[in-house]
Amino acid sequence: MRIENIELRRAHIPLVRPFRTSFGTSTEREVTIVRVTTANAEGWAECAAESSPLYSSEFLDASDLVIRDHLIPRLQALGDRLTAEQVARALEPVKGHMMSKAVLETAILDAQLKETGVSFGGYLGAVHDTVPAGVSVGIMDSIDELLDAVGGYLAEGYLRIKLKIEPGWDLEPVRAVRERFGDEMLLQVDANTAYTLADARHLARLDPFDLLLMEQPMKEDDMLGHANLARLITTPICLDESIESARDAATAITLGACSIINVKPARVGGYLEARRIHDVAAAHGVPVWCGGMLETGIGRAANVALAGLPNFVLPGDTSASNRYYAQDLTAPFVLEDGHLRVPTGPGIGVEVLPDVLADVTSAVTNLTF
């Protein structure tokens, strides 16, 4: 496959409501959209890096730079021999920058699959036509506001609720939601690294609420701490930020640091490594689910395809488009009986809306390949 051009497009897309986590509050999604052009196809992907290095060490301005100055030249060296399957190895000498690598691999894979008429789901090995959808609920100003939000999402049909937590916003919100909506509702929490092992006794007070899982309670590099915490609480621990590769997944499982894994393709360098994590977890009997990074329809399409693989047995953060955006960059993903439909068209299976993208674009960089 011969690439002719790679376009980096910075976009700013308003969120329908502020989204607060232990890292901070977002009111818009600032994102770099990558378009790969070949003689016969266009491939699209979005970079999951945020504008500030809070969720991870990556951030958008640095991502654009490393893509332009360090990653693309290594892909150019492959010439006509370039395929999506070669991207990770070609970029391996560049340390880290997994989200930057992921967006290039994904856009190239999208173009490649469109040229061959294969869908993302078909290529990755999806076995489901639809996937169950959960929703992530941010930290709010009051319990009443939280209960109203959760009630609204349940009324829309979401099958699982995830509450963001942090010290000072954990026991009472969880108790209030469980008491209001009952024990049958699938409920989990996400700490985004906000706690330490010294908080184990406090976190154990969440055990009576029969949570599906507790996601990433401690720092991403504290595998042993998570293994120790797992022995002190009964709520299953799920790792997110700690898992950047299939090797990390195997290590965490072996140490007993988690019994569930959140797979975010952008965090691990792309969908090919995400599939390897799925396979490692499946071999160990560890369930996985697909996390989210406030993706537009471009990233959501690929995530939904990944979530169609057989070991994605828990509802993911694969929410409908209107959870975050009044106007998505593609035709909206719509909740159907608590599920999203896996796209079946070539590549990611959705078309980018050019006028909508143009309206939210602040800068464009074209790199002749």
- Between helix 271-283 and helix 84-91 the angle, nearest 10°, is 90
Q: How far is 328 from 359, CA to CA, in rounded Å?
A: 12
For the chain, the residue count is 369
Identify whether 164 is a catalytic site residue.
yes
Catalytic residue among 95, 101, 164, 219: 164
Burial (Cβ within 10 Å: 0-12, 13-18, ≥19) of residue 171:
middle
Tally of CB atoms within 10 A around 56 = 18
114 is catalytic: no
Say how far apart CA 287 and CA 277 lie, in whole Å.
11
Distances (CA, A) of 118 to 112, 278, 346: 9, 21, 5
Closest CA to 195 of 167, 220, 223: 167
Catalytic residue chosen out of the listed positions 101, 114, 162, 264: 264
Contacts of 73 by beta carbon, 8 Å cutoff, 6+ apart:
none
Residue 339's beta-bridge partner residues?
132, 336
**Strand 260-263 vs strand 134-137: parallel, antiparallel, or unpaired?**
unpaired
Distance between start and end Cα atoms, the chain: 12
How many Cβ atoms from other residues are within 10 Å of residue 159's Cβ? 17
- With H, G, I as helix, E, B as strand and everything else as coil, classify residue 287: coil
CB atoms within 10 A of CB 142: 9
Q: Rounded to whole angstroms, how far apart are CA atoms 233 and 213?
A: 11
Residue 362: count other Cβ atoms within 10 Å of its Cβ: 9
CB atoms within 10 A of CB 327: 15
Task: Indicate which residues carry an active-site annotation.
Answer: 164, 264
